[in-house]
Structures are given as structure tokens and as C-alpha cells.
Amino acid sequence: MSAPRVITDSLGGSALARAVQAGALDARVAVTAPAGVDAWRTRAREVAGSATRGWFAAMRDAFGASGPALERLERVAAAGGAVVTTGQQAGLFGGPIYTWAKAVGALAMADAIERQTGVPTAPVFWAATDDADHAEASYTYVIVDGRVERLVAAYEPAAGTPMALATLADVRPQLGRLRDACGSMAYERAYTAAAAAYSGQATVGGAYVALLRSLLEPLGVAVLDASHPAVCLAGTDVLHSALHRAGEVAAALDARHAWLAERGYAPQVADVAGLSTVFVHEGGRKRRVPMAETAPVGRSARPEALSPNVLLRPVMERAVLPTVAYLAGPGELSYFAQVSAVADVLGVAQPLAVPRWSCTIVDPAVGRAMARLDIGLDELRDADALESRLARSSVPEATRRALAELAEAVRMGLMALGAVDATDPDHAVWEMRSDGDTLRLKSVYGTDAAGMTWRFNPDITHATLLGRPVPALSSAVARRFLSYSWPGNVRELANCIERGVALGRGPELTLDDLPET
């Protein structure tokens, strides 16, 4: 069996994401990644030294780790080391490929930091099971018989239901298609892990975490279940601070939005006026805490009933974990330029986001087809252009010659129409242009199926057909011109043009040249 090609790509993204990757923003807005081993060693030691004592013990149950992942976490925590994190919200059967690319990238980066700096470092995957976007969590894509197929699970929990509480639908048909896509599997354990996780009475978030742990823990990657009460308890101080200082946080985000906009960047996360950055969970659903309710919610809500929104989450993570770096996708890189504003207000060290590994995986069968058709990888980014190119190359030579002869015949026919008298209104096609208070009419040759075409410049035509004066004309000229019946008075119009030419003014019309009717 041939192995697929794995090609490393640049991450790309929006202008803001690219600016963060290039280190082009002020360091107060987006922390710049260290340059060189010494700088990484310094950062890793600083982060490890600032960690809350007992962070792993406090969230041990949320990690639920076993095997190599548990061993590495315990070793790093005991040695006062750091972690490299990444994460993703729940997705059917693990979601998009970049979920796995993120996890493998975090592992590779943690290995590199530990090997080159000497600072014990562990990879951690933050499974955002507290997210409530069920549409995003309900689908994935597979390749069956050479075609991409979208698999969708039919569950629609009530709005605001975290995926950790959303009951998983019967996904046996989707598992069957996943099995079909696997074919003669080189690594059967991946499918069996998915089948085991997505069965029984699991929740959407629970199945997601179970699958991630089954495949990632043997590699040494720990998976943190973000909806576990231990995570919220560890982040209590940050969550309550965000409620208490909600007005300051909102003002800081407004200022950051303005700062980004002044420099031509669109903020990744839109501001929602009147809402804080904290969710409160009530009756199995979560809602953003309004500014007016921050004080009473802060006093009455149980610690495990609070959770962060997208801009507060990285700040809370930095407070509860010794995170040396977070591997981020393009959207995440963009919103980290807003996250720093929240961190500053709450007095938490700014988190560092670095680009995740981006790759393209070329299936062996697809690779063979590309080679046969001489298709480059970049051509796949513009499917329409590629389809046109392949269509042209597949046309037989005799057909191409016939089409070329037809095109030449059409060209010669259009040239013959040019011999028609330009002043003959039964054949002329007039293109009208405006110049101040003057209408300029130009003869253009051509006929339609009815024997005559009257084509007006769009700048004029659209306005006149809608019965509105054209701004480029004086209102008097516009009103006179619009009063004509088109093309009934074309003969009179042609006469006006001829009179203008005779007077040496060229093909121009002024108000004096236009008849009253």
C-alpha cells in the first residue's frame, strides 16, 4: 500500500493573522515568539517559575490521563516544568484533520523545547467541550470511493447546551461510512477507537474526549476536558475578576478594536455590547452574563457554574497552566491580538500564540490522478481555472481548428457591419456618454435578433431607465432627454447630431439642440 504525501504549507489566514505570524504588531498587542534557543529557554523558565503550585494536582481529574501522557505530566509537574498547549472544539469523529495536526504539532514542539532548552515540557490538548456550537460539532468529511463525503450526525440540542451535556445521536450509519472510507486499514486502532467512543449513551463532548485520549495519550499528549468542574475551580479567580472588572475589560476591548481598525485590521471577534466575557451555566445551558448582572452572578454562582468566552479562555489557561506557547490556527492568531487587552486588565501574563503546523495530505490515488493529468498542487486551489484548462486540453485538434475558423468568421462578419452608414438610424447602434451638461453619442455597429440594438453606456442607461436624472447631466438636459420615446424619436435624434456636426461642434447635444418632444 502506498503512503500518502504529507506536504507542509504556510498557515496563511487574514491580514491580521499574517501580521501576528510576522511579528509585525506591537509586542503589547501580540507577544512575539522568542528567537533562538536561549530566548526560548528564558521564556520556558519564566513561565515555569510563575506557575501556580500544585496546578496538576488541582486539575488531575480534568486531565483524566493515563499511560505515557500521565507519566510525562507527572514528571513535568514534579520538575517545575512547562506545557505546550493547543486545542479545538468538539467535532464528529475528532473533526477536521487539523485537530490531529494541532495535537501532533504540540507534541513536536514540546519535545523540541525540552530537548534544546533542558526545561521539562509536556504537550496538552485543551478539548473545548464547554463550547455550545452543535452545528460545528455535528459533521466531518471522509473520502469514499475517491469522492469527498460529508457525514452529519442528526442531533440538535437546545441553544446554549455545552457539548459536554449534549446527548449523542445514533451515529451507526456515519460509523459505517467511516468504516467504508478506511478501506483496508493500515492502522485499524484508529477506527476501533472511534467506534468505541461514539457509542452507547455518550455525550458529544464525552465521545470527542474519549477518542482523543485513546489515540493521543499513547503518544504522550494529555487531553484536558475543559468542561470538567476542576478547570472552572482552578480558574475561579480569573472568572470572578472578569466579572468584577467587566466594564474595564469592555473598554479595553473597544480601544483594541479601534487600534486594529486604524491600522486596517478587522478584529476577529466582534464586540457584543452589554455582555461580559463570562458565561454562567443554568439548567444545563450557558449564557453570556450581561454587564448589569455581573455583580449578582459573581456573588451567587457556584465556581463550577462559570466559564470563559473565547477571549477570556486563553487568559484563564495562562493563569492555571504553565503554558509556554499555544499552537494556534489563523483565526486564533487573529483573536490573540484582542486577548492581550483582556490579560492586561486582569493582570495576567499575556499568552503567546504561535502558528500551528499546516499540511496538505495527498491520497495515493489522488496523487496518481494528478500525475496522469499533469496537475500541480497549487492548481487545486482554483478549481474553475483547472477545470477550464483540462477541458481545453481534452478538445481534439480538429475541433479546435473548427472553433478557430468560426471565431474568425464572426470577426469578419462584425467588420462587415462597420460598412453600414453611421448616420443610418435603422442600423446604427448608439453608445451614449455624458460630459458635464453635454450628451455625447457615438455610433457603434451591430444588430440583435430583432434587427436593431440600442446600447447605452451603463452609467447613463441604468439611471435613465429607472427614471432618475443622471448626476453628470444638468437637470434640464436630463429631463428633456428622458421625455423622448425610445427608440421612436431616434430619427430626430440623428438629425440633431447631423446639425451639430454641420455646425462644427462634433457629435454633441446641448439643450438647444434637443427638440421639445
Does residue 13 have a pLDDT over 80? yes
pLDDT at position 406, please? 73
Q: Is 372 in the same domain as 354?
A: no
- As a whole number, mean pLDDT of residues 209-216 equals 98
**Average pLDDT for residues 446-462, to the nearest whole number?**
34
For residue range 99-145, list pLDDT tens digits in order: 999 999 999 999 999 999 999 999 999 999 999 999 999 999 998 88
Shared domain check, 269 and 331: yes
pLDDT of residue 414: 59
Same domain (yes/no): 323, 386 = no
Mean pLDDT of 442-459: 35
- The DSSP line for 81-123 is -EEEEEEEE--GGG-SHHHHHHHHHHHHHHHHHHHHH---EEE
pLDDT for the residue 144: 87
DSSP secondary structure letter of residue 380: G
Q: Are residues 389 and 450 in the same domain?
A: no
pLDDT exceeds cutoff 90 at 52: no
Residue 284, pLDDT score: 93
pLDDT at 430: 39
The residue-averaged pLDDT of 481-505 equals 45
Task: Examine the pLDDT at 238 and tell me if it is beyond 90.
Answer: yes
Residue 415 maps to a domain: no
Q: Of the ranges 337-346, 414-423, 485-494, which is most confident?
A: 337-346
Q: Give the predicted TM-score (pTM) of the model.
A: 0.76
Domain contains 419: no
Number of domains in the chain: 3
Element (H, E) at 183: none
Interior/surface letters 25-35, b for 16+ CB within 10 angstroms, e for the rest: beeebbbebbe
Residue range(s) defining the domain that contains residue 440: 428-513
- Predicted local confidence at residue 363, as pLDDT: 83
Cα–Cα distance for residue pair 308/453, rounded to 1 Å: 64
Residues 317 and 184 in one domain: yes
Neighbours of 371 (CB within 10 A): 9
Q: Are residues 341 and 386 in the same domain?
A: no
Q: Are residues 248 and 383 in the same domain?
A: no
Percent of the chain with pLDDT over 90: 57
Q: Which of 271-275, 332-336, 426-430, 488-492 has the lowest mean pLDDT?
A: 426-430
Last residue of a domain, one of 361, 384, 402: 361
- 292 and 350 co-located in one domain: yes
Please report which confidence band the pLDDT of residue 482 belongs to, taking 50, 70 and 90 as the band edges: very low
Whether residue 245 lies inside any domain: the answer is yes
pLDDT at residue 415 in the model: 60
Inter-residue contact 130 to 53 (CB < 8 Å)? no
Q: Say yes or no to pLDDT of 472 above 60.
A: no
Q: Give me the chain's average pLDDT, please.
A: 82
Average of per-residue pLDDT across 327-344: 95
In a domain, 406, yes or no: no
Last residue of a domain, one of 342, 361, 380: 361
Helix axes 458-465, 475-482, angle to 10 degrees: 70
Band of pLDDT at residue 393, cut at 50, 70 and 90:
confident
Whether 220 and 263 share a structural domain: yes
| In the predicted structure, residue 496 carries a pLDDT above the cut 80 | no
Do 327 and 382 lie in a common domain? no
349 DSSP assignment = P
CB atoms within 10 A of CB 23: 12
Q: Is the pLDDT of residue 93 over 90?
A: yes
**Structural contact between residues 64 and 164, judged by C-beta atoms closer than 8 angstroms:** no
Radius of gyration, alpha carbons of the chain: 33
Asked if residue 422 is part of any domain, the answer here is no
Confidence of residue 512 (pLDDT cuts 50, 70, 90): low
Better-predicted residue by pLDDT, 294 or 466:
294
Q: For position 117, what pLDDT does the model report?
A: 96
- pLDDT given at position 155: 82
User: All 3 cell numbers of residue 284?
Assistant: 444545563
Q: State the pLDDT confidence band at 183, using cuts at 50, 70 and 90.
A: confident
In the predicted model, is pLDDT for residue 400 greater than 80? no
- Is the pLDDT at 507 greater than 80? The verdict is no
Shared domain check, 63 and 39: yes
In a domain, 402, yes or no: no
pLDDT exceeds 60 at position 91: yes
pLDDT computed for residue 188 by the predictor: 86
Residue 90 lies inside a defined structural domain of this protein: yes
- Residue predicted with more confidence, 470 or 42: 42
Determine the Cα–Cα distance for residues 469 and 467; give it in Å rounded to an integer: 7
State the pLDDT at residue 409.
73
pLDDT, greater one: 490 or 267: 267
Examine the fold and report which residue of 307, 341, 361 is the final residue of a domain before the chain moves on. 361
Q: pLDDT for 418-429, tens place per residue?
A: 444 444 444 433
**The pLDDT value given to residue 362:** 87
Tell me, yes or no, whether 244 lies in a domain.
yes
Give the pLDDT confidence of 26-42 residue by residue, as tens digits. Answer: 888 988 899 999 999 99
Q: Can you give the pLDDT at residue 58?
A: 96
Residues 6+ apart with CB under 8 A from 123: 72, 83, 84, 85, 86, 103, 106, 107, 109, 110, 220, 221, 222
254 and 344 assigned to the same domain:
yes
